[in-house]
């Protein structure tokens, strides 16, 4: 067996225990009740970086949660790898659907169950263990910098400012991120595209107070009914989004590009069985994988209003609201889509109601090149550890800082993720395979070596 794999295997139990202690910290960025816990996760990381004997380990406060930065410059003439990750996690609810508490990690059937196990604590921590391995084997082949934020799950607003203000500190040759999925444990892949995002909240107000639905029902327009009509009209019978101008800038892929992406294996039956749905629907003219990666979407994330307590209350509500997100593809611009949505949604409202539209966070889509040295180093690294050439894939999720790194730092990002779509990220019972965790720890040192080699030219 190769020496890197042996170190991984010898240290497997400790690597798992360390991750478990990280996962026990409920660093929920969205919930201000957990502010202290988010800081505790940042401090935990600081301690880990310190024990890796980095030259510099720093915690940068922001208006929100802190950013953790670490670096080790072994030789200024060597290339520098900047690893990005996030130590914050999504809220764990609904709690009653978890088989074990989200912040009391357990290993069951070779999977680590906890909120953040895959997204992104488990994937992020692999990079620290990879540094430990490289150091045991000698000198680091590249300089390393780490930028780990605590606000990815809430839109990375403060990171954007930090990146603009610290261009010199963040100078590097490539950005490395493990915060995406691969196709399957025996089908390695590298993500080459992510969608952007425009996230809106809407509120429809009818009468000035809740009314008796018998006394007023029929004569007064019901804001929940209206909201449903407005939302329903946002897609036509072909599953296309009806907002004028929405598709104007959408990048149309060539036949060859689509055929290439369609080489990714996809088992429609297994996909449906996993989610217990009897059929798949979506924008006509596109396959399910295309609809979830290279095409933009519009989804209601939450909708509320009226009476939702136990039993029946006859009420004609005063207000109804919804959270609506749109996933964007190259070359859509999130602020433009936000404006198009707002203008259109306000126009949809009948004269019986008042409508408010408010944007939440946005983010730009990103495509990364398969030609970069970074991509090539990642492909070689995965070949070393999986014994197979990885397939480039475009994914549907969003990591808005990837476009930002490109714009502000002029740097390519390598999205070398080790999760699986079935890891239930953001859902109850999130988990991360022990195989995936250890495979990541094994692959990353190869990446550092190949990246150093390729840069020698």
Residues that bind Mn ion (CB under 5 A): 119-120, 179
Using rule CB under 6 A, residue 361 touches ligand BES: yes
Which region, judged by CB under 6 A, interacts with ligand BES, from 39-47, 256-264, 398-406, 429-437?
398-406
395 near ligand BES, judged by CB under 6 A = yes
Among 189, 293, 393, 398, binds ligand BES (CB under 6 A): 398
Q: Which residues of 10-21 are buried (b: 16+ CB within 10 A; e: fewer)?
A: ebeeebbebbbe
| Least Cβ distance, residue 443 to ligand BES (angstroms) | 17
The answer to whether residue 148 forms part of the interface with ligand BES (CB under 6 A) is: no
Q: Is 179 in the site for ligand BES (CB under 6 A)?
A: yes
How far is it, in rounded angstroms, from Cα 214 to Cα 108? 54
One of 122, 193, 397, 440 touching ligand BES (CB under 6 A): 397
Catalytic residue among 71, 88, 153, 423: 88
Which partner in Mn ion, ligand BES, none is near 440 (CB below 5 to 8 A by kind)?
Answer: none
Tell me if residue 408 is catalytic: no
Q: What three-state secondary structure class fits 284?
A: coil
Report the nearest approach of Mn ion to the CB of residue 119 (Å): 4
Q: How far apart are the first and last CA of the chain?
A: 29
Bridge partners, residue 328, by sequence = 196
User: Rule CB under 6 A: is residue 364 a binding residue for ligand BES?
Assistant: no
**CB-facing half-sphere around the CA of 439: CA atoms within 13 A:** 23
| Binders of ligand BES in range 399-418 (CB under 6 A) | 399-400
User: How many chain residues bind ligand BES (CB under 6 A)?
Assistant: 17
Binds ligand BES (CB under 6 A): choice among 119, 151, 173, 290? 119
Q: Give 88 or 132: the residue with its C-beta nearer to ligand BES.
A: 88
Cα dist from 129 to 88, 112, 214, whole Å: 19, 17, 65
Is residue 363 within the footprint of ligand BES (CB under 6 A)?
A: yes
The question of whether 152 is a catalytic residue gets the answer yes
If one counts every other C-beta atom within 10 angstroms of the C-beta of residue 425, the result is: 22
Q: Does 92 bind ligand BES (CB under 6 A)?
A: no
Given the rule CB under 6 A, which of 63-71, 148-156, 225-233, 333-341 is the region that contacts ligand BES?
148-156
CB count in 10 Å sphere of residue 92:
22
Beta carbons within 8 Å of 47's beta carbon, 6+ residues apart: none
Number of H-type helices and E-type strands within the chain: 13, 18
Centroid of chain to Cα 244: 28
Dihedral angle over CA of 358, 241, 278, 228, nearest 10: 50
Q: Which two tokens stand for residue 400?
A: 């808005």
Tokens encoding 183: 């196709």
Taking a C-beta distance cutoff of 8 angstroms, is the pair 8, 426 a contact?
Answer: no
Check residue 57 and report its DSSP letter: E
- Nearer CB in complex with ligand BES: 305/365: 365
Beta strands in 206-336 (DSSP E): 211-212, 297-305, 315-316, 319-328
By CB under 6 A, tell whether 80 contacts ligand BES: no
Shortest distance, CB of residue 120 to Mn ion, whole angstroms?
4
Using the minimum distance from each CB to ligand BES, give the nearer residue, 395 or 442. Answer: 395
Residues 428-457 that bind ligand BES (CB under 6 A): none
- Residue 26 interacts with ligand BES (CB under 6 A)? no
Question: Cα separation of 147 and 45, whole Å?
Answer: 11
- Does 149 participate in binding ligand BES (rule CB under 6 A)? no
Q: Which is nearer to ligand BES, 197 or 289 (CB)?
A: 197
DSSP letters of 113-139? ESTTTTTTHHHHHHHHHHHHHHHHTSS
Q: Which is nearer to Mn ion, 180 or 222 (CB)?
A: 180
C-beta of 194 vs 324, nearer to ligand BES = 194
CA distance 188 to 417: 9
Query: Residues 37, 132, 151, 152: which binds ligand BES (CB under 6 A)?
Result: 152
Return the one option of ligand BES, Mn ion, none that residue 230 interacts with (CB less than 5 to 8 A, by type). Answer: none
Q: Which helix (H) or strand (E) holds 168?
A: none
Element (H, E) at 409: none
Span from 152-160, 182-190, 316-324, 337-345 in contact with ligand BES (CB under 6 A): 152-160
Q: Does residue 197 touch ligand BES according to CB under 6 A? A: yes
The CA-based angle 19-20-22, given to 5 degrees, is 65
Q: Which of 151, 152, 153, 364 is catalytic?
A: 152
Say how far apart CA 290 and CA 280 lie, in whole Å.
13
Report, as residue numbers or ranges, the catalytic residues: 88, 152
Residues at the interface with ligand BES (CB under 6 A): 119-120, 152-153, 155, 179-181, 194, 197, 361, 363, 395, 397-400
């Amino acid at each position: 067996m190769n020496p890197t794999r042996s170190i991984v295997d010898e240290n497997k139990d400790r690597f798992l225990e360390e991750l478990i202690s990280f996962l026990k910290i409920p660093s929920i960025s969205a919930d201000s009740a957990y502010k202290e816990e988010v800081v505790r996760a940042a401090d935990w990381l600081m301690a880990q970086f310190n024990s890796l004997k980095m030259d510099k380990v720093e915690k940068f406060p922001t208006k929100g949660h802190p950013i953790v930065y670490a670096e080790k410059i072994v030789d200024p003439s060597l290339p520098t790898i900047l690893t990005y990750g996030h130590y914050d996690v999504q809220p764990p609810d609904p709690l009653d659907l978890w088989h074990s508490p989200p912040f009391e990690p357990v290993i069951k059937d070779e999977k680590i169950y906890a909120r953040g196990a895959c997204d992104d604590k488990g994937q992020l921590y692999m990079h620290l263990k990879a540094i430990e391995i490289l150091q045991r084997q000698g000198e680091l082949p590249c300089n390393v910098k780490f930028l780990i934020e605590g606000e990815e799950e809430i839109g990375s607003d403060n990171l954007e400012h930090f990146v603009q203000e610290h261009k010199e500190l963040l100078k590097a040759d490539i950005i490395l991120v493990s915060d995406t999925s691969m196709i399957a444990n025996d089908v390695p892949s590298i993500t080459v595209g992510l969608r952007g995002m425009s996230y809106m909240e809407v509120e429809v107000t009818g009468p000035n107070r809740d009314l008796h639905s018998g006394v007023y029902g029929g004569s007064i327009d019901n804001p929940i009914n209206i909201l449903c009509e407005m939302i329903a009209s946002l897609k036509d019978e072909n599953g296309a989004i009806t907002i004028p101008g929405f598709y104007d800038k959408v990048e149309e892929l060539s036949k060859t590009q689509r055929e290439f992406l369609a080489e990714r294996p996809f088992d429609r039956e297994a996909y449906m069985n996993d989610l217990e749905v009897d059929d798949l629907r979506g924008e006509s003219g596109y396959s399910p994988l295309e609809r979830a990666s290279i095409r933009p979407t519009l989804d209601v994330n939450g909708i509320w209003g009226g009476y939702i307590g136990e039993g029946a209350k006859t009420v004609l509500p005063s207000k109804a609201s919804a959270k609506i997100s749109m996933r964007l593809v190259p070359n859509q611009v999130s602020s433009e889509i936000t404006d198009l949505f707002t203008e259109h949604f306000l126009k949809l409202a009948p004269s019986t109601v008042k409508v408010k539209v408010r944007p939440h966070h946005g983010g730009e889509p990103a495509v990364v090149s398969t030609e970069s040295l970074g991509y090539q180093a990642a492909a070689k690294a995965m070949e070393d550890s999986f014994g197979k050439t990885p397939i480039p894939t475009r994914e549907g999720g969003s990591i808005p800082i990837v476009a930002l790194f490109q714009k502000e730092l002029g740097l390519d990002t390598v999205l070398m993720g080790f999760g699986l779509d079935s890891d239930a990220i953001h859902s109850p019972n999130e988990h991360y395979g022990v195989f995936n965790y250890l495979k990541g720890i094994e692959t990353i040192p190869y990446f550092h070596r190949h990246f150093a080699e390729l840069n020698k030219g």
